[in-house]
Structure 1
Amino acid sequence: MSIKVGQTLPDAEIRAIGESIEQTHTGALFAGRKVVMFAVPGAFTPTCSNKHLPGYVQHFTEFQARGIEVMCLAVNDAYVMQAWATSQNVPHGMLMLADGNGSFTRALGLELDGSGYGMGLRSRRFALYAEDGVVKQLQVEAPGEFRVSSAEAMLEATA
């Protein structure tokens, strides 16, 4: 069952990529913060690289102006996420979250079986807004869609 609005985000080990790669826990990442976290099925994949991440890069300062931190989640290893961040010019302060084993994604109940595409376990495409680790908004895309989890949609949802 997937996480719902009003629930606390699960605490799981994850790798956070900013200026370096840091092993941490999601409980610590979300505590005391306002965060928009969006998830993509995979780094370097077409929609993720051409639309999803670039939208958040483009609107990053608008989220910052509202006191909202931005994090990108994918079931990829930390080195892939670090390379993707570099290739996409991810701004200082936007965290890339590498959920290499998919443990956080599974705890959220938002996993996707990408085996038919040779990708194994991945995350569904979604975005959420949380305050102090409590989900206030959750937008999960229908398969093959990219609308409700965009940066523009989340700016509107958090207005």
Structure 2
Amino acid sequence: MALKAVTPAGTEDVRTGELFATGKIVLFGVPGAFTPVCSDFHLPGFVLKTDELKAKGIDTIACVSVNDAFVMGAWANSEAAEGIVMLADDAAAFTAAMGLTTDASSFGLGTRSERYAAIIENGVLTSIRVEKEFVDHEVSTAEHVLAAL
């Protein structure tokens, strides 16, 4: 599965099988860049807790959203998301393969990702917590990930 990663040099294709193959990774999914809960709470929580997550043995922190790479890049810049790999799932293919799509049409967003946080160790999904409603941010927060480590 291919996603687009936003880097300081621009965007690059990323194969999820390679990105998640080695090390301990936190992957969190959000419904949309620049949306209220995502921008006010979810991403900022991971930005604030990056050092704590790394101290607990996390090698990579990645955020995925059903957005294009340009939007993810602008969002990363606006949130000072240094240290977090920002992944664009422009056609929701990765999100669909994970079984985590949701219909956010009532919010004007169409097909989006459920809000979740996962821990992947050497290519194996060891934990995933999905919010009951994609507008919630309880079980998928950086604090809950830290507690699970």
TM over 0.5: yes
- Corresponding residue number in structure 2 for 1:31: 21
1:150 maps onto 2:141 in alignment: yes
When normalised by structure 2's length, the TM-score is 0.95
Q: Distance in 2 between matches of 1:104 and 1:26?
A: 9
Q: 8 Å contact 1:74–1:123 — kept in the other structure?
A: yes
Q: 8 Å contact 1:111–1:123 — kept in the other structure?
A: yes
Identity of aligned residues (%): 47
1:137 maps onto 2:127 in alignment: yes
Q: Distance in 2 between matches of 1:133 and 1:78?
A: 24
- Corresponding residue number in structure 1 for 2:72: 81
Of 86, 90, 99, 1:100 maps to: 90
Q: 8 Å contact 1:70–1:95 — kept in the other structure?
A: yes
Unmatched 5+ stretches in structure 2: none
1:16 maps onto 2:21 in alignment: no
Give matches, 1:55-66, under 5 Å. Answer: 55-66=45-56
Unmatched 5+ stretches in structure 1: 1-11
Residue type of the alignment partner of 2:19: L
Q: Distance in 1 between matches of 2:107 and 2:44?
A: 23
Q: Distance in 2 between matches of 1:100 and 1:156?
A: 31
Q: Distance in 1 between matches of 2:11 and 2:46?
A: 20
Q: CA RMSD in A?
A: 0.9
Residue type of the alignment partner of 2:74: A
When normalised by structure 1's length, the TM-score is 0.89
Shift of 1:29: 0.6
Q: May I ask how many residue pairs the two structures share in their alignment?
A: 146
CA distances 1:46-96 after superposition (whole Å, capped 9, x unpaired): 0000000000000001111223111001000000000000000111x3100
Residue type of the alignment partner of 2:147: E
* SS of alignment partner, residue 37 of structure 1: strand
- List, as ranges, runs of 4+ consecutive aligned residues in structure 1 with deviation greater than 2 Å: none
